[in-house]
Every structure is written in structure tokens, then in C-alpha cells.
Chain A
Amino acid sequence: MSHIAAITAQSSSQDNLYQQTAETYGSAIERLARAYEANPDARRDLVQDIHIALWRSFAGFDQRCSLRTWIYRVAHNAATSYVIKQRRARSQALVGLEELENLSDANSGQQVADRDRALDQLLNLIQQLKPLDRQVILSYLEGLDAASIGEITGLSPGNVATKIHRIKSILTRRFHAGGQDEQ
């Protein structure tokens, strides 16, 4: 195969992978961006940045990990890079799951009557977290299993298990007590 043909083939495979990803994971990417940026305009930019990062990354996708792991790694890493930059600009203090678990919450135990309010509270909780903990909770909410979360984040299985246990405890404490989301 000539050099130009090889480049064309690679470019076409890059485009195909991207289209496939945008189709299958577009909503997950948008949800992920929501957890990293509250401002709608900035969030749109972040979603587009993640899409560009994904498209660029597919030129080097070597299938050493699954496509799903690759996509989540790229999306989380692009978002983390965004958080690092924003953190310098906004000097926002982020907490870990451990600290969040110990923090008293004004809404704890209250009934969360409607879904929008519950979602706002959930987003608010996620946006307080440090990037790595945020990635674990997001992956958990996206329905990924512990092994996949470990592969994406680089955390050991034991560590992922502990963090998931904490997440469950935090979610139960904050959204339980008869709210319709927990029935």
C-alpha cells in the first residue's frame, strides 16, 4: 500500500471510529461534561473539546484496550485537563469522597420530591469532587463495573471497591429517606 493510501485508510478509520463513538457515547460524553462544568456555554465548549480530543486520539488507537475504555479515558483526561486549568482560574476547593462522606449535609435525609431537584443535588455533589473521585462516581453512575473503572482510572480493584462503597453510602444518605428516586 502506498504512503498516501495508508494515510487515507487511517484517516477513514479515524473518521469511522469517531462517528461510531459519537453515535454510541455522545450522550455519555454530554453527561460527563455536565459533571465538570455547570455553565451551559462553557459546557458546550468542553463537549466539543472532548469530541476533538477523541477524534485526534483515534489516529493512535492501538486496540490494546477496549474501545469503551479508550473513549472514557480520553473523555476523562480531557475533562481533567480542563478542571486543572479552571481550578487555577477559579481557585475552587475540591474534596475527596472520604471528606464528602464525613461532611454534614443540610439536605441529608430530606425527601427529594422531584427528579430535577434530585439531579441538581447530584450534580452539585459530583462537581465538588476531586477529578479522580469524580471519575469513579461518574463511571459508577454510567453503569460501568469495577474492573472497567479500574482500567479507566488506573486505581487498584481494592481502591475502586472502597470508593464505590463510599459512593453508595453517600448517595443513600443524601437521597434516601423516602424520596421517589430511592423507591
Chain B
Amino acid sequence: MSNESPNPNMKELWQCQTLEGIKMSTEEIRKRATKFERKIMWRNVREYVATAIAVALFVSFFITGHDSLFRLACALMIAGLAYMAYQLHHRASARSMPANLGATNSLQFHRTELERQLDFVRHIWRWYLGPMVPGLMAFSVASIVGGHNNPWRAALVNSLFALCLILVWRLNAYEARCLERRIDELAKVAAD
């Protein structure tokens, strides 16, 4: 097929535009690549430290708590957080750009990236929100049974928690639908 253009000057206009002439030495590239990897490593470390702090807090509650239901809630929260941290590491930890970018054509690459994001948001209930629910429910039951809280106040707090969970879930469901649409568009283009 001929790719000759009726707009030869558009190509010329494009190719002759004034540029900054950004250049990087291999030494500079190495330094920046190392810096970038380090930045990603620290971002992951920050996520794990935040989870570790939350776990440590619940462990301390577990040790100092006297109410068995309260201690059960703490144990469930610890288990939930540990599961969530594992899944976060497995599925969604910050990562550097894949090294084999040149082996994949743009269509495949774009689709894979969108599918990775879709997997992340579509199963958020299973690995991010869900694991917290047993612990939160156990805390609610513990506070009502233990009589530490006014039942109305407890109901209000629980409703707010539930509302937050539902909101995060719905936002992710919406994002998943948008991603699905974009993946379908790419699949259609690939099939043409």
C-alpha cells in the first residue's frame, strides 16, 4: 500500500520543528535508572511500613485487651491486614517499567496494561475491602455486647464504615466498566 501523502508539507512541518535537543549520557542513564528503582523500592517500603504500624497497633490492643470478643476482632484485623499486604505486594505494588517493551507491539502492550488495571479494580472487594469486613464487624459486635458504646452511636459508626466500603466498591466498579469498554475497543481494533 502506498503511504504517499497529499500533505507532504505536514510531514516536513512535523519533522523540521525546533527541538530542545535533550541528550543523556549512558552514565546519566544508569544513575537515573538506579534512582528510579530506588524510588520504587522506597514507595513499596512505605506501604509495608504503614501496614506494619497498623498491625503493631492491633497486636498491642490484642495483648492489652481483656474482652475476648475485642481480642478476636483484633486478631481478625491483623489477619485481614496481613492478607491485604500480601495481595497488595502480589498484585499492585509499585513497579518499574517492564524491560521487554520492544518485544510487544503497541496494541498488545496497551491491552495488557489495561487488563492489569482491570484485574486490580475488579477484584478489589475480594482482596482489599473484604478482608477488613470480619474484623470491623467483630469490633462492632464487641462494642455493642460490651456496652462500651451507645447502641445508636455504634450503629451510626458502623453505617459510616459500611457506606465508605460501598462507595469505594462502587467507584472501582465504575472504573472497571470504563476499563472494560477500552479493552473491548482494543479487541475490536485487533479483530479488524
Contacts and interface: CB of A to CB of B under 8 A. Distances in A.
Q: Do A and B bind each other?
A: yes
Interface of A: 15, 18-19, 22, 26-27, 30-31, 34, 44, 47-49, 51-53, 55-57, 59-62, 64-65, 69-71, 73-74, 76-78, 80-81, 84, 115, 118-119, 122, 131-132, 135, 140-146, 151-161, 164, 168, 171-172, 175, 181-183
Given A57-B100, A164-B3, A159 B192 contact: yes
B97 A81 contact: yes
30 contacts: A19-B26, A26-B21, A26-B23, A27-B19, A27-B21, A34-B17, A47-B22, A51-B29, A52-B32, A52-B36, A53-B97, A56-B99, A60-B100, A65-B102, A73-B103, A77-B106, A78-B97, A78-B101, A84-B110, A122-B14, A132-B106, A140-B3, A142-B11, A143-B15, A146-B3, A155-B192, A171-B5, A181-B9, A182-B9, A183-B9
Contact of B106 (A44, A135, A142): A135
Interface of B: 1, 3, 5-7, 9-11, 13-15, 17, 19-24, 26, 29-30, 32-33, 36, 97, 99-110, 113-114, 117, 186, 189-190, 192
Given A30-B19, A70-B102, A171 B14 contact: no
Contacts of A52: 29, 32-33, 36, 97
Nearest to B10: A171
Contact of A64 (B11, B36, B103): B103
B107 A154 contact: yes
Nearest to B97: A53
A96 to B, nearest CB: 8
B24 A73 contact: no
A34 B19 CA distance: 9
Contacts of A160: 1
A132 B186 contact: yes
Contacts of A49: 97
